[in-house]
């Protein structure tokens, strides 16, 4: 990302310190990228950001609350996870430190602070859920929506693959950096794209960029609880009048492709793009295609409503 202008700052919005970066020319339309669970803004591949800047967008990257250089909300208590899971199995609501709607309001407040009245928004995984909520509650601010490897919150959709679930339930062998690196590399290997495996060298660099920016166990749990507590958005999405693109891999074991299909089915006139062999990551080989999907979607719908 050395070949374009970059600005980074931390600002208090919605009573939370949120870190963000702006890349590219501020006179260009702003494209907001929101990433997923326990993934700071460095989770967006630099090649992807560079290509989007080259496509004449100003790119706004954010660290969601509880990750990266944004505020760690350790003053918020974490409920007993066994009781949480029991209540969810019984179909009961759960109390969480915060909800996805709170994370959505962080981003909206950031846009207001930056005096960005309208943006194109791209959300990946949990970031897709937040982006969907932005389009539902603040459609006047969202010129286009792209939801990637995300879902609607409908609980009857297929869940996480057993192998991935077992891996995610494990913990690093210790708090030492080498054990943290090993754990996160293994995590990205199991959720990654079967047809486009990353080399261990590339994966190590990617994981290091995120760990160095900041990932904590408690922050990850609080974000995960927000996802677990989220309701089904299908009814709200069915009323959207925002041009929408849904992208998913057919080998995504973390968020099953059925979640992407359900999202596209729920949003009126949404376009669905499914990539064979893609898992829950952004394989470098597919980045040019995904960027082209996003840019084409924006250019086709710029200034319009579906």
How many Å apart are CA 226 and CA 155, to the nearest integer? 14
Q: How high is the pLDDT of residue 21? A: 98
pLDDT of residue 2: 46
pLDDT of residue 175: 86
Quick one: pLDDT at residue 305? 46
CATH code for the part of the protein at 6-301: 3.40.50.1820
Q: What are the distances in angstroms from CA 178 to CA 138, 185, 298?
A: 43, 11, 41
| Domain residue spans of the chain | 6-301
Tell if the pTM clears 0.85, that is, is over it: yes
**Predicted local confidence at residue 169, as pLDDT:** 84
Q: pLDDT means per 10 residues in the chain (306 residues)? A: 79 98 97 98 98 98 98 93 81 90 98 98 98 98 98 95 90 90 94 95 96 95 95 97 98 98 98 98 98 98 60
Q: What is the pLDDT of residue 87?
A: 82
pLDDT of residue 304: 52
DSSP string, the chain: -TTS-EEEEEEEETTEEEEEEEES-TTSPEEEEE--TT--GGGS-HHHHHHHHHTT-EEEEEPPTTSTTSPP-TTSPPPPHHHHHHHHHTT-----S--HHHHHHHHHHHHHHTT---EEEEEETHHHHHHHHHHHH-GGGEEEEEEES-----TTS----HHHHHHHHS--SSSSHHHHHHHHHHHHHHHS-TTSPPPHHHHHHHHHHHHHH---HHHHHHHHHHHHH----HHHHTT--S-EEEEEETT-SSS-HHHHHHHHHHSTT-EEEEETT--SS--TTTHHHHHHHHHHHHHHHTT---
Q: What integer pLDDT is reported at residue 3 of this predicted model?
A: 57
pLDDT at 306: 38
């Amino acid at each position: 990302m050395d070949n374009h202008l970059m600005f980074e700052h931390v600002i208090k919005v919605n009573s939370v310190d949120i870190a963000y970066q702006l890349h590219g020319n501020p006179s260009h339309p702003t494209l907001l990228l929101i990433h997923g669970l326990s993934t700071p803004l460095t989770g967006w591949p630099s090649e992807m950001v560079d290509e989007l800047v080259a496509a004449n967008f100003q790119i706004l990257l954010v660290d969601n609350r509880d990750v990266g250089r944004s505020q760690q909300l350790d003053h918020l208590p974490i409920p007993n996870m066994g009781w949480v899971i029991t209540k969810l199995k019984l179909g009961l609501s759960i109390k969480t430190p915060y909800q996805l709607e709170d994370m959505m309001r962080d981003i909206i407040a950031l846009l207001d602070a930056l005096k960005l009245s309208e943006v194109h928004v791209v959300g990946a995984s949990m970031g897709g859920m937040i982006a969907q909520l932005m389009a539902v509650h603040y459609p006047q601010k969202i010129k286009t929506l792209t939801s990637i490897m995300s879902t609607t919150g409908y609980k009857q959709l297929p869940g996480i693959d057993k192998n991935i679930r077992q891996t995610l339930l494990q913990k690093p062998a210790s708090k030492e950096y080498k054990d943290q690196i090993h754990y996160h590399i293994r995590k990205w290997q199991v959720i990654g794209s079967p047809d486009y495996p990353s080399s261990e060298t590339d994966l190590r660099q990617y994981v290091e960029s995120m760990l160095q920016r900041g990932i904590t166990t408690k922050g990850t749990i609080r974000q995960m609880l927000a996802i677990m507590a989220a309701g089904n958005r299908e009814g709200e999405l069915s009323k959207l009048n925002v041009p929408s693109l849904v992208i998913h891999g057919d080998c995504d074991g973390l968020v099953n492709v059925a979640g992407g299909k359900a999202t596209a089915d729920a949003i009126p006139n949404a376009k669905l793009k499914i990539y064979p062999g893609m898992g829950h990551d952004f394989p470098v080989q597919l980045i040019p295609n995904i960027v082209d999907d996003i840019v084409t979607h924006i250019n086709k719908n710029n200034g319009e409503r579906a």
